[in-house]
Chains A and B, each alone.
Chain A
Amino acid sequence: MAHRSKYTSPRSRRYVKRVPIFWWVRKWNYTKFILRELSSVSVAAYAVILILLVRVVGAGPAEYQEFLEVFQSPVSIGLNIVALAFVLLHSVTWFNLAPKALVIRVRSKVVPPMFIVGMNYAAWIVVSAAVAWILLSP
């Protein structure tokens, strides 16, 4: 063959599909993932609320009362329901994933994952009960 054949390197003709910005709306597992990650916003919001709570306690009884009254508005109740839903999502997914990170060997046996999950939930119940008791007991 004397003529020069036109040769396009196959490498330059690879087809590359772009990942869409909203890749996470296409599959429910991905959407759940993004919702789980967004739960951190509720966590940050409550960290700030805690700071403000400490501030009003330092300021005086009137400010403290005013602060509590803000929570009574329907908007606040609505936002708190949403925040609670998100934070519960965070807690449940966090505890359920704990055994993935913590593989503990006692002597020659591996601690069963359910045990690690169970310990986490037990700690959650204890902490919640303790906080409620500290705040609510007269």
Chain B
Amino acid sequence: MSKQSKASNEPFWWALFGAGGVVSALFVPVLIALFGLAIPLGWVEAPEYQSMCTLLASPVTRLLLFAIIALCLFHWAHRFRFTLYDGLQLKHLESLILVLTYGSAIVAVIFAGIVIWML
């Protein structure tokens, strides 16, 4: 009568989603406001190239940046996966969606790691 069920391994991805949600909620709005609007529209001065270099020289900044990028990508992957399940009722394509979402996030994170490492 009772179906066989077991505790899922979702917590792995959900923790990344949650951390990514916090990080993106805190950091991304100001970045869009600056790089996307305030700087190009001339409201504020763009950071000097030298300042950017100095900023990115610090291993702490590099690590923080990598963490922010990675968590944002995993946040998107998890959320987009469920949006496809619910919004377009594509759960029957689960395996494909898992590869497309988490897979592309992993690829982008590796790319980010390489780019930061090669600074």
Q: Which residues of A contact B (CB under 8 A)?
A: 19, 21, 24, 34, 37-38, 40-44, 46-51, 53-55, 57-58, 61, 64-65, 68, 71-72, 76-77, 79-81, 83-84, 87-88, 90-91, 94-95, 120, 123-124, 127-128, 131-132, 134-136, 138
What DSSP secondary structure best describes chain A's contact surface? Answer: helix
> A47 touching B72 by the CB < 8 A rule?
yes
**B contact residues, total (Cβ < 8 Å):** 55
> B108 touching A51 by the CB < 8 A rule?
yes
Give CA–CA (A53, B28) in the complex, Å. 14
In the bound complex, residues from chain B placing their C-beta under 8 Å from that of A38 are 83
In the bound complex, residues from chain B placing their C-beta under 8 Å from that of A91 are 25-26, 28-29
> A44 touching B72 by the CB < 8 A rule?
yes
* A85 to B, closest residue via Cβ: B32
> A71 touching B36 by the CB < 8 A rule?
yes
Mark contacts of B68-87 with chain A using CB atoms, 8 A cut-off: 1 yes-contact digit, 0 otherwise.
11001101110110110011
